[in-house]
Structure 1
């Protein structure tokens, strides 16, 4: 069955197998800040399937790409 839910940060975290409530998402982002030179898919805290999911979502050029871009920006907030 195809997932027809609207892409969102909550749905992305669910697909990544992570706690997806708002406070958990904010805590994850705060605890996993990346350096400016680290691409989101290369972050050391993803497992193989999470990395593959993010890579897939970044190349689909649809609404999921926007959500992954938002996560990428959030994970790089401290690198600016």
Structure 2
């Protein structure tokens, strides 16, 4: 699958979070800065299922990895 099909809104919807642009910006503002020593999926603000999804997609370098990397950068 083409990684370009996954947007930040798609990722937030997949994670079960509000996915409109204002909600995404509010989430990022509320949770940044995330320390560089903390892997994104280990951040305390994720649920167990969100954490599992993020970890699996990153480890497998799956088609969600690009937008997850974008979120990771925005949270730093």
TM bin, normalised by shorter chain, reads: 0.7 to 0.9
Give the TM-score, by structure 1 length.
Answer: 0.83
Aligned to 1:60: 60
- The structure having more radius of gyration, on CA atoms, is 1
Aligned to 2:24: 25
Aligned structure 1 segments of 4 or more residues deviating by more than 6 angstroms: none
Aligned to 1:73: 73
Give the TM-score, by structure 2 length.
Answer: 0.87
Instruction: Give me the whole-angstrom Cα distance separating, in 2, the residues matched to 1:54 and 1:28.
Output: 16
Aligned to 2:43: 43
Unaligned runs of 5+ in 1: 1-5
Matched length: 72
- Report the alpha carbon displacement of residue 15 of structure 1 after superposing the two structures with TM: 0.7
Unaligned runs of 5+ in 2: none
